Structure 1
Amino acid sequence: MADKSPSASFIRAMAAEKAGKPEEARARYLEALQAEPQNPKTLHRLGVVELRLGRAREAVVLFQKSLAIAKDPEVYLDFGAAMAGMARWDAAATVYAAALRVAPDSVDAHYGLALALHSQGRPQDAEPHYRKVLATHSHLGEVHNNLGVALQDLGRFAEAVAAHREAARLSPADASALSRLGVALHHLGHDAEAEAAFRKAIGLAPLDANIRHDLTCLLHAVGRPADAVAAGRPAVALDPSSARNWLALGNAAHAMRLREDAWRAAAAAVRLEPSDPAAHNNLANALRELGRLREAVAGYRAALDLQPDFPTAEINLAQILSILRESNGALAILRNLLARQPLNVEAWRRLAGILAEAFRPDLAVAALRKAVAVAPDDADACADLAMAAAMSGWSAVSVVACRRVLRLVPGHGAALGQLVHQQRLLCDWRDLDGLEALLLRRVREGGEGVSPFDVLSCASTLADQQSAATRWAAAKARGTIPVHRPAALPRDGRLRIGYLSSDFREHAMGHLMVDALETHDRSRFAVTAYSTGADDGSPLRRRFEQGLERFVDLYRHGDTDAAQVIASDGIDILVDLTGFTTFSRTSILAARPAPLQVNWLGYPGTLGAGYVDYILADPDVIAEGEEAFFTERVVRLPDCYQPNDRRRAIATTTPARADCGLPADGFVFCCFNSAYKLTPALFDGWARILAAVPGSVLWLYAGNPQVAANLRREGEARGLDPGRLVFAGPIPHAEHLARHRLADLFLDTLPYNAHTTASDALWAGLPVLTRRGTTFAGRVAASLLRAAGLPELIVDGQEAYEAAAVDLARSPQRLRGLRERLVRNRQSCPLFDTPRFTRHLEAAYRAMWDIHLAGGQPRAIAIAAEGGSGLPSAAQEGND
């Protein structure tokens, strides 16, 4: 008969288990338990077999029964392993802790407990148990590696690097140790070493997609998106089911502006992990880059449905709603976020940006002050504060913010340019020469971020201005998607001209352009005004809306949508009237909504943009031989590039001198230019002029009280009685024109001339004395005077300028003759002959379009003055 004693069954069960026959072993252990049901060893081994057969619940019951009979450390270890295998980390930790109470020195129990605690997210509790194992088993590379991971989780990266290095030394073929070492090195900023570790790990485990994922993330983080894409593609090929691999590849492709690749990668991640809010956020980012803004909004909302408290997605959604001009929705999102996270600097910055775009710079300043209070060392927040304060007219606040930015980031281009401009607006000339020299050096060294407008009023060259504009235009075009233009639209034989501007309102540019736009020949030209500025409710705004054939309000359209509207209208020539001035929308031009695009009037210089074909000028503002400094092809109108409004009203009542703070007697020099056009050298000359003309005064515009205070201080430093400086504040335009009658001579500025202010003076009958400059901005007054029939008021050189001013003040009869000629010419001179100007303008458009229709590239054009036929003609100046 067969021996069925418990010991014999147990022995046969052990043999079957050892031979890899778990079913037979189970049967034999059950036989043993029938004879001796309370045998702890048999219960233990049967539990182990049940575990191997995949019956974890049965195994747990057997382990518990065994331990109830005898506290055997080996049972605890197997029981703990069972819990760990079921990912029951809390139970595993409890079991391993119980094992240590029975056998305090058990290395296996310490290691099991360390792994269980670590897996619960308790690296600080796991660390001492890893170290307990290594105290007696320092040769175990795996334990060093896991200790390193725990130290990384605790943010102790230097210690983690040491642990991973030891793991790699002990186990040189362990790719995991090298990969973890790479992660720790990256956290310490040792990126070259990190990359080397990752690449060595890939050499050991070329099919490990996780290591390639980590390398992809590293390369993306250090600004090498092309290399990151190269690393990320094998990762998704090795493990296409991993959403994290697709996300990493998508991030790298996004950084490279591989828009389609980024979208496909993000879409794959969403398909694989539809409940991952980060994947939805990334997909929305990719859709935004593709110009699919409404789909992007849906993507961000999907991310927030999954994770309502997701600041990154909230800020992204607010930003895109702002782009879509849904400001109220964007503001609501950000305010809700800030109610939860009042220390979120990025949210404050985004809130401020939307408020500024909504023409509430005062509220933007308040928001940015909070951002700077939260993060005083955040240079971006300080730079935003400087810009918002400038928009509010708070130049002193802007100056302080700019100086803070420059302390944080010496050489910061935008802050340096803004500081120069704001100090100019305040006439605070202390250290201005040095700041301007720094600004121009940055431009000449190819520095980014300098606004071209800030360069115009410095002692800059045409080359400087082109350099700054080229980089600025490229930045504005970055990420822009060309819009679709219809292949063909019904045509009525007219050339379609679109005018793009934020200044169809009570604004200097609005006053200049309105008459010319109204005067277009509607039988030959279909004219549309595209307004990107807010409706200020002014009579001038109503005049634009009512006086033009079409007026399209694009203020609430994002740049892409606005460009698509223009393209869908089939505009032939789009004329930008804003340039790089406040509230410009250059990205609309970058989307190329029209076959031909023109820079005119709003900005006195090149836009430096390959997407702008022509610049309208005249022989004075752009001299022969200067074409190379303009990215656009130069079109010269015969008289003056600047139009004027024949209906510009002048108040009939002239104020008394006393009402304006002027003396009853004495010569009145004036300059109503903005304060930023004044310079110390110019003021030196004015002081000498006043000294040479006893009893004279200088009447200046000062919208900011600090301007008057600073100029009085500067005057005293030059020996001037402060009473000889008189300051005019802002008043309605018609009354402002009327007060020009109290002045005797307008003194122009350099390097940035009077532009609209010179036209105002000449229209009001006040002669303007100008010194010809070396750039477009410094020659406008010369162009105006020539077109007004007063070329003798154009001089070259400072000495001639001062001598002419003094001579005119001492020659009242000559000055009276100039005034009479100006008033006599006002109805007939080219400067104020708007129909003549518009015919020349239309000839320019027709010449541009004829070249385009013939398949030619844009080239220089000169428009001849209209002859006996009454029609102007065009001549091509070359093929450059």
Structure 2
Amino acid sequence: MARWMWRWGCWYLAGLSVHVNAAVSVGGSIQSTLASFHRPFLEILTPLNGQVVESSEVDIELVVRDYIMPSSFRTYKVCLGIHENTAISSDGASVGVVEFCFDQTSSKQFHVQNLLPGTSYTVRVVLVDKGTVIAVSMRTFRVAAIAIQGHTENVTILTAMQYALSYQNNLDTDSAMRIYESILAEAPGHGHALHLLGLAKYQRGDTMEAIDYIEQALQTNATHEEFHNSLGLCLKDIGRTAEAATHFETAMSLRPSYIEPRFNLASIWQSTGEYDLAIPVFRAMADKVHSQTLALEYAAQFDVFVRLCDIYLASKQQNMALECLNEALVLWPNDPTFLNERGNLYLNAGYLDLAEADYKIAADAGVLISMLNLAITLDASGDTDESINLYSKILAVSEARGLPTGRVLIMRAGVMPRVLPAEGQLVDLARQAMRRRLDSMLAQDNVTVDSRDPILNAYPTGNYLVSHPYNNKQLKRSLAQMLQMYCPALKTAAFIPPPSPSIATDLGAVSSTHLSDVLPELRRRPRIGFVSEFYQTQPISHCMHDLVERLNRSQFELFVFAVSTPQSAKLPALTDGVEHVIGLPEGVGPSADEIRRHDLDVLVYADVGSDKLSFFLSFANLAPIQAAWGLGHPETTGVPAIDYMVTSEYEHLSFHDHYTETPFPLKGMGIYLKEPLTPHISTYANSSPDDVRATLTQAFHLPSEYRFYFVPEPLVNVHPDMDSIVRRILKRDPIGHVFFLTPPKNSKWKHAFTERIKLQPGLPAHRIHLIIDALDDISTFALLRACDVHLANLYTNKFYHTLEASAAGVPTITLPGELWRSRIPLGLLKHINVLDTVATTPAEYVQLAVRAASDRSFRHQVVGKLQKYAPKLYGDDEAVHEWARFLQFAVDKSRRKRKTHANLRALQDNPTHSTNGLAPPTAKDVTL
């Protein structure tokens, strides 16, 4: 009794801490009470009879219906008693029960505490009037007892839930689930235990089981907003996003201030690409994070910015993404996640210095992906040794952590100097090192393959080898073999799907009839495809447009697949007159699927080496015959799936040894343009030659009279041998000034080139100028028209520089070698028979350059010839005829290849079939 009295010494009446000490004995029996007609005078409302109580406390609520009592009973007292059911004698009588009595009160609520887990209790309330019991109500309840591992005594459900939540928050879901299951054994319909057990299952990845438990919880209480939010999370996880959204919306309607379902609903919109719906929600949350009024835990607040910035990036809102990342870095300074993402944004925009700074901070924090991005940036900046050393460090870390290393090996293998070093032997050493890395990778027996999109993986293409004065056939072939070995999905373009959907853009009148409708042998016209960059400001785009428009539609059905859908306002000018123009979606895999859908007979890559998407697409056999155009990127691809290289009769005699493809030389240059590019490319107001020279004079503080030599090739394509040429030109021409183009966003390239050219002895550095973004209102073509002499690069040249210079009557000085990329200016000049400025030695190159600028008679002679014969470069019907000749040749090859493959399939389907009594040929007997 002492224990019982100690635990029940305090009662709470009507919510106040009032001690009720009166105690009376029961003055009668239950049988002596009066009838209450329809309803009893006295009734205990809570607890319910047989109720399992969750905690060590319970509220007792009763009702006294005195309005139906006879008036003689209006002076009653209420007496209430509670006892453990073990305190009952063998004859059923209460042992030492003490009741507390008090006069009439309007409040009939009492609070009991210090109940024992596992104990059953009886509550009895009696109405006593003048010592006579007039009404009795009794209830029996039990306090649940839950065993907790490691604890000697049982605890209540409420205490057990606290333990389970602590385990669950610490990711010990096994311990948490054991407790929830014990609770449900005691109270099978316990909604919160069902809900939290479901969440524990969700944490473990058992989503379907989680859904079952949370749905049971909802059956106990369909108005509980947290149950709806949790069920929405599970449904979202298994792709039932519409149902998930419904539950999130229900949770929000039940409690409008509930932020979690709002966050989760916006996440669904993000995953389904409904960015216009998601952005306002996350933007509002981000504002609340700033004002510290968002009721979300720290990690979720962080995730708000991660998602908002990611949506801006996914929806191509780069400026908004940058603002978002900057905001996040104010809240979380030097956070590696946001620094890495901002570095990605800078890198993709070409701001290598800014990208390097962000990546370095994140890499120093030990973030492996940031170390990898830093190595990529160092490579792009031309810090070759630093990049290779960092790749090697990443390899060591990856091996120590048991991570795959294939991607890192591939990227390290392709590292090559960008702005070439001053000493030619250093270029040779870099090539030898690349050769060794490739050979080492190709010699591996067991490799870890990576089936992700090679563009997303930043795999090398060997593009920068084009600036070297060597035949790159073997290096490019080994690079392609290595890529296929470590990324075999290249052969089929069946990569792991990108995280967001890609959609092809139909830019023209695409026919609705494809191979699925018409068999190849029944087609009236063979299908020819061209893959090309298709921008208003890209010369290759205009070449492709004019050529395709001119080809005979009755002979070929022509498709142009535009790499990266252009945003130029003048795009219709590039689609007019072209039968099919199709904007390719992002990603190699989706682009390959789009091209395959049209079942081409021949596919021509216009600029396969300079464009990454084209390069990686070319590994897959997207048509029976694939070809590359040797003017779009004047270099072998090394890709086994490219059958032919379309080149020119002006190649060197040894040209067959320069390509992994079979060369197909056209008569002439194979260029068809209706007119010069300048009116289409240069849309700036101040682009006349006089305006350009005036702008340069002011920007570089030039004298009133100077001679303007122009090298339009990018700095990374300028070999140090060209530095010597420039020095000697300036030595011979005292008023000569040489201009180069430098990228506006990469100060390292500019610095490396400036430091390199300064090494030329006696170089007048004040007469070397780098045209950067300060003069971005002047196009390259406007500079070509304004210069006195176009200095063709020694070892690699773009065709359109000489083309436009010649059209403007500007002399081009060139020194052709054996490789096609050094002979392109020669080919153009030979095509119009203006060979006065073609040199055979470096000394003659210097002499011709100065003479073309300063010798009025010679200059007048060259300019006159150019003005007379350069128009032959435009509207060249021979180029159209030559392309038609190649395409028909390729179509014939394609048809034979299709027929051979069909025969092989027929043999495989019916191996016992023979004709004329002869055994059928085996696969070895068939030549493809």
The question of whether the paired residues in 2 share the 8 Å contact of 1:509 and 1:602 is answered with: yes
**Structural mapping, 1:11-410, within 5 Å:** 64-66=84-86, 76=116, 78-79=118-119, 92=144, 110-113=152-155, 117-121=159-163, 154=170, 276-284=231-239, 298=242, 301=245, 309=260, 317=268, 321-322=272-273, 328-329=276-277, 331=279, 335=283, 338=286, 355=312, 360-370=317-327, 381-404=338-361, 407=364, 409=368
Q: Tell me what 2:846 maps to.
A: 805
Residues 651-706 of structure 1 show CA distances to partners (whole Å, capped at 9, x for unaligned) of: 79542644542656554321122344346664455334433543321022356398
Q: Does the CA-based 8 Å contact 1:473-1:607 persist in structure 2?
A: no
Distance 1:789-1:663 versus aligned 2 partners, 3 A rule: farther
Paired residue for 1:694, among 734, 746, 763? 734
Does the Cα contact within 8 Å between 1:767 and 1:818 map onto a contact in 2?
Answer: yes
What percentage of aligned pairs have identical amino acids?
Answer: 14
Give 2:496's aligned residue. 479
Matched letter for residue 804 of structure 1: Y
Q: CA deviation at 1:521?
A: 0.7
**Within 1, Cα distance between the matches of 2:210 and 2:615?**
35
Answer yes or no: is 1:624 the counterpart of 2:656.
yes
Question: Deviation digits for residues 699-736 of structure 1, max 9, x if unmatched?
Answer: 22356398698466766565544441245568899975
The equivalent residue for 1:462 is: 476
Q: 5 Å matches for 1:703-742?
A: 704=744, 710=751, 718=760, 720-728=763-771, 737=781, 739-742=783-786
Describe how 1:377-776 pairs up with structure 2 within 5 A.
Answer: 381-404=338-361, 407=364, 409=368, 412=371, 414-422=373-381, 444=438, 449-452=457-460, 455-456=463-464, 461-463=475-477, 465-466=479-480, 470=484, 474=489, 477-480=494-497, 486-489=515-518, 493-501=524-532, 503-531=534-562, 533-539=564-570, 541-552=571-582, 569=598, 571-577=600-606, 579=608, 584=613, 600=629, 613-614=642-643, 616-618=645-647, 620=651, 623-628=655-660, 634=662, 636-639=664-667, 643-650=671-678, 654-655=689-690, 657-661=693-697, 665=705, 667-678=707-718, 682-683=722-723, 685-702=725-742, 704=744, 710=751, 718=760, 720-728=763-771, 737=781, 739-749=783-793, 753-769=797-813
Choose 366-375 or 665-674, whichever is displaced more.
366-375
Distance 2:319 2:865 in 1: 46
Greater share of helix residues, 1 or 2? Answer: 1
Classify 1:584/1:244 alpha carbon distance in 2 versus 1 (closer, same or farther; 3 Å): farther
Judge conservation of contact 1:486–1:567 (CA < 8 Å) in 2.
Answer: no
Distance 2:318 2:433 in 1: 26
User: For residue 899 of structure 2, what is the amino acid of its counterpart?
Assistant: A
- Cα deviation, 1:208-265, whole Å, max 9, x if unaligned, reads xxxxxxxxxxxxxxxxxxxxxxxxxxxxxxxxxx99999999x8xxxxxxxxxxxxx9
Contact 1:755 1:781 in 2 (8 A): yes
Residue type at the aligned position of 1:385: R
The answer to whether the 8 Å contact 1:498/1:573 transfers is yes
In the superposition, relative to structure 1, how do residues 606 and 669 fare at CA in structure 2: closer, same or farther (>3 Å)?
Answer: same
The 2-side partners of 1:430 and 1:404 are apart by 28
| SS of match in other structure, 2:676 | coil
Please say if residues 386 and 399 of structure 1, whose CA atoms lie closer than 8 Å, have aligned partners that are also in contact. Answer: yes
Provide TM-score, normalisation by structure 1. 0.56
* AA in 2 matched with 1:515: D
Would you say 1:839 and 2:867 are equivalent positions?
no
- With normalisation by structure 2, the TM-score equals 0.54
Looking at structure 2, the residues matched to 675 and 617 of structure 1 have their Cα atoms a distance apart, in angstroms, of: 27
Q: 2:900 is matched with which residue?
A: 855
Is the contact between residue 480 and residue 587 of structure 1 (CA under 8 Å) also seen in structure 2? no
Shift of 1:515: 1.2
**Contact 1:247–1:279 (CA<8 Å) still a contact in 2?**
yes
**8 Å CA contact retained: 1:456, 1:465:** no
Contact 1:639 1:830 in 2 (8 A): no
Structure 1 residues 581 and 419: alpha-carbon distance in aligned structure 2, compared to 1, 3 A threshold: farther
Whether contact under 8 Å (2:525, 2:554) holds in the other structure is: yes
SS at match of 2:738: strand
Are the structure 2 counterparts of residues 516 and 245 from structure 1 closer, same or farther at C-alpha, using a change threshold of 3 Å?
Answer: farther
Is contact 2:561-2:584 (8 Å) kept? yes
Q: 1 CA distance for matches of 2:359 and 2:553? A: 49
**What letter is aligned with 1:671?**
V
Residues 512 and 303 from structure 1, CA distance in 2 versus in 1: closer, same or farther, beyond 3 angstroms? farther
Give the Å deviation of 1:746.
2.6
How far apart, CA to CA, are the structure 2 residues paired with 1:854 and 1:310? 59
* C-alpha contact 2:477 2:639 (8 A) present in aligned 1: no
Q: Which amino acid letter does the alignment assign opposite residue 695 of structure 1?
A: I
User: Separation in 2 of the partners of 1:346 and 1:623?
Assistant: 57
Higher strand share: 2
Change beyond 3 A, Cα 1:244–1:733: same
Residue 20 of structure 2 corresponds to: none
Which residue in 2 is equivalent to 1:25? Answer: none
* 1:572–1:596 contact (8 Å) kept in structure 2: yes
The amino acid that maps onto 1:120 is: Q
**C-alpha spacing 1:691/1:468, structure 2 compared with 1 (3 Å):** farther
User: How many angstroms apart in 1 are the aligned matches of 2:620 and 2:243?
Assistant: 24
SS at match of 2:846: helix
Q: Secondary structure at the match of 1:805?
A: helix
Aligned-partner Cα distance in 2 for 1:778–1:642: 17
In 2, distance between residues paired with 1:282 and 1:570?
A: 37
Q: Deviations over 1:383-438 (max 9, x none)?
A: 543443244454442343455466554995554343443469x9999999899899
Distance 1:363 1:406, change over 3 A: same
Larger Rg: 2
Distance 1:411 1:617, change over 3 A: farther
Note if contact 2:207-2:234 (Cα within 8 Å) is conserved in structure 1.
Answer: yes
Structure 1: 5+ residue runs without aligned partners? 1-33, 35-53, 82-89, 98-106, 125-149, 161-175, 181-241, 252-264, 285-295, 858-877
Displacement, 1:120?
Answer: 2.6
Residue 826, structure 1, aligned to residue 870, structure 2: yes
Post-superposition Cα deviations, 1:120-176, rounded to whole Å, max 9, x if no partner, equal: 34677xxxxxxxxxxxxxxxxxxxxxxxxx5x9658x9xx9xxxxxxxxxxxxxxx9
Number of residues of Structure 1 aligned to a counterpart in Structure 2: 648
